Amino acid sequence: MYANNHFMIAIFLLLGLVLPIVAWTLSRMLRPSNPTAAKRLTYESGVDPFQQSWLQFNIRYYMFALLFIVFDVEAVFLYPWAVAYNALRSDIGLFILIEMGIFVFLLVVGLIYAWKKKVLEWD
């Protein structure tokens, strides 16, 4: 029985390695290749680049992006839970409500931490 499980894992690993290589090779063989100087230019919203493309951004941009991702992931987890809550309430009972309460509590603690560190202020 365990040998069969190892065989299935090996097949998935092999497919996970082989399929992207095959797709990349096929796309490389089938696509047209006509590189020109205009195609190799960096694209900046239709404007020709006129300076160095390596710029240093303010860390606040990254913090806002991370907060957005955290709360976006929260919404992804909360929505299916809310939809299935009535069906699960009769089977699992109070456990599912406490579990989601802990999840939301941890996210609120993270928000309070970001607020106290003044990450959400834009000066």
Q: Judge contact between 101 and 109, C-beta under 8 A.
A: no
Instruction: Give the pLDDT confidence score for residue 123 in this predicted structure.
Output: 67
Distance CA 59, CA 118 (A): 12
The b-or-e profile of 55-87 (16+ CB within 10 A means b, else e) is eeeeeeeeeeeeeeeeeeebeeeeeeeeeeeee
The tens-digit pLDDT sequence of the chain (123 residues) is 566 788 889 999 999 999 999 999 999 999 988 888 877 777 666 666 666 767 777 777 887 788 888 888 888 888 888 888 877 777 777 888 888 889 889 888 988 888 888 877 776
Instruction: Give the pLDDT confidence score for residue 44 in this predicted structure.
Output: 64
Instruction: Give the pLDDT confidence score for residue 39 in this predicted structure.
Output: 77
